[in-house]
Structure 1
Amino acid sequence: MVNIIVEFSKYLNIILIAIYTYYAFRVFGYSDKKKQNKTYRKMSYLIFSFHFICYLILYLTTKNIKVIFLYGLELITLILVLTLYQWIYVNLSKQILHNMLFLLTIGFVMLTRLSYDKAVKQFMIASATLGLCLIIPLLIDKMKYLSRLGWLYGIVGILMLLSVLFWGVENYGATNWIRIAGLTFQPSEFVKILFVFGIASLLSKRTDFRYIVGVTALAASHVLILVLEKDLGGALIFFITYLVMLFVATSQPLYFFSGLLAGCAASYLAYHQFNHVRVRVMVWRDPWSMIDNEGYQVSQSLFAIGTGGWFGMGLFKGLPTSIPVVDSDFIFSAISEEMGGLFAVCLILICISSFVMFINIAMKLNNTFYKLIALGLSIIYIFQVFLSVGGVTKFIPSTGVTLPLVSYGGSSILSSIIMFSVIQGLYVLGQDRNDNIEKRKRKKKIATE
């Protein structure tokens, strides 16, 4: 009987996420607030339905009463977040809020399937972060002096990265972790937010050539340190983010294409100078010839994705735990195997929907500093999704990057929620100012009449 329910549930989950994905894009076309709110209510129902079905399967399969307890805590958290955020911030982006919660829910489900203990830890960190980030949209408007601290952001970021270089702990070939009092965290996850604030602050002031050289040197220092730490994914994210921010701030294509050319040259040198870079490229080209060693992880990932097909094996019907580091770097493979290729495609589309919303927010902001922050965080988010999905599908060499809001990792989940909250704050700020402008116009109109 359980097998029948599991088999039926995988098709139902695909239908639920497909409908949610449709709404996630369809809502962009609605100008009527009533239609938008009606759609967002439907999106909430879809999230709760998916959450319930998956945890029902998890309980029926494991017979572990703790699964029901975890489900109850997650359900309460989802309801509280939806209620409190919309109550405190009348003008918030419900699109961003719903997408964030759905991605978190997918992550909770898959982590509970892979490792209950890790799922509990992830849930606790995410819940605490969601509570703390409730004040971020308010702080964005109040802290006017944030735009004056550009060089400070950069210096603090470099010092944090250097601390890893000297006192860091190596994990899976990269020295990008710090262990303090038994807790391990990844400073680069937080430095990337400081990096965006720093570059946005500096580029919003001046864009003459001599000044740009200094800002570029600051950005290059971050990238170089990450390369030395063998954090290639992080280095790529910082590099691409800076190029896009520089191009938007200066409107100079020459800077952008010169940066790309320099990046290609640096990649060529890195391939010949660093053995771990050559190994990753060789694994990308032909993982099957190295399947017993370096190519094992990518090979198992491809097996999992292929085994799942379009409709998936169903929760607990696959073998995702055969993939090393499956709960963090390769969680997309586990989702593809047990939830199906169609589900995985919809997941990517939801990420793209979030990115489109981020870019819309950036385009509508008049303040250059805020505009560049929204743009920079948008690029970090979507490029991280690209690196994560591209690495596990062998579209690009694996860079060890997590899938935002879905993968296991305290530092990753914390920084991802902060990024969503900052952009949410920028959206609220823009909406509040538009409302104030409309009120002043109405008062003027009444006064003239």
Structure 2
Amino acid sequence: MKQVSLLAFTTLASSFILPQAEFFRDEPVDDSSGGAFLLSLERESASAQPVLNQAEADFHAQFGASRFEDDEDVAPLADHPGHGPPRHGHPRSNLTIYQFISQNNYTTKFAKLVDQHDSVVKLLNSTDANYTLFVPIDSAFEHIPPHHKDPSKELIEAFLRYHIAPGLFPFHHLLTRTKTLPTALDAPALDGRPQRLRVGLGLHPPGPQVNFFSRIVGGEPALANGIVYGVHRIVVPPLPARALFDLVPSQFSTLLLAYQRTDFDAVLSKAGIVRGSTIFAPTNGAFAALGPRANAFLFATEKGKKYLAALLKYQVVANETLYSDAFYGDDSSSSELPRRKRFHVDLPTLLDDKAVSVDVARFGAFVRVVVNGGVGVVVPDVVARDGVVQVVGRVPIPPHKHHRGREESLEGEISVEELKERLADYVEEDRQEEGLQGVDEGHFEDL
């Protein structure tokens, strides 16, 4: 049986991710590419590198045969996730996932937590279905702050379930077929549908990571009821979408200022979001691309504040959550998006239900998400407790009426007059003269 090591597979997989190759360069990447956003997240976990290096060596030494079968052997399993134990050949181990982590010297802390929750033990010990477990190795728990308040039993169970993905997801699947995975944690903010986690290649050091922070350091691909991956950091259920922007102010300080200026948090709280949301979040570079005139109008005039609020509403889709590989509709339905096909959907936004047009093109590891035919998603699928954030390289603006929802051009800056024209139907104009310290907004056209 042909086998390849995890390291070799990682190197090979990097050649499949050509559309995001710029994310893996050492030099700075422009905001609009999304690379700077990923680099900001990477810096947060850099301090853990020495611990990671030792943990990785220990984990591989303990597992021994931490190797992954080639595509020929494992691909058929990936096509039938969650439908009983492996049927292609025979598992190389008779151990269940629960038995494996209970006997392994480097997963003792996670196993002890599992032992306190009978429902999770039953899940990981059952051979009625397949599961993929991302298990934090023992050194991952060293990052928990000392003297922290003990979490409730319910919170710990949610934490455990977020590490479990129903179905078989071999290593090549993680790197070439999907960006997100459903977990065994049902999220109330998603109307009880599965909370998803994100998988992808990290930057420093390069390698497969879960939710940007937790790196896969090894694994056992053929247990009696699934697959186990060891990860070097605890995978914590995500924060609400709005709170994610506060984590990366270097990329979202302009968006945060826009929220503050328009009291947009109050708008979100009144939006009636009960089934999750999709937020197309512009980076600082995306706002800068509007040009100094448009930004001065939006952020320095009272009239501009209304247009800014309209722009923010156009970025939020309530009660529909669109990942690059799954769609949770407004009727409590959910579906995985087909591979090697294009998916188109018009999503109603908070801007008087004005639709934003989204196209998702998938072919293996190649994924492209485009808004209104021209706004590219530069960092897809930043999972949130109440939905997903799709980071965009330009600020989405409602197209002109005669363009039927498609963006005709996004090159260059936008004039104040064009910005006002495209948002005029959604902004209640005051008849009273407005301005900042008596300055007429029209003067920004002369800057």
Q: TM-score, normalised by structure 1?
A: 0.22
Higher helix fraction (1 or 2): 1
Higher strand fraction (1 or 2): 2
Ranked by relative contact order (alpha carbons within 8 Å, sequence separation 6 or more), the top structure is 1
Q: TM-score, normalised by structure 2?
A: 0.22
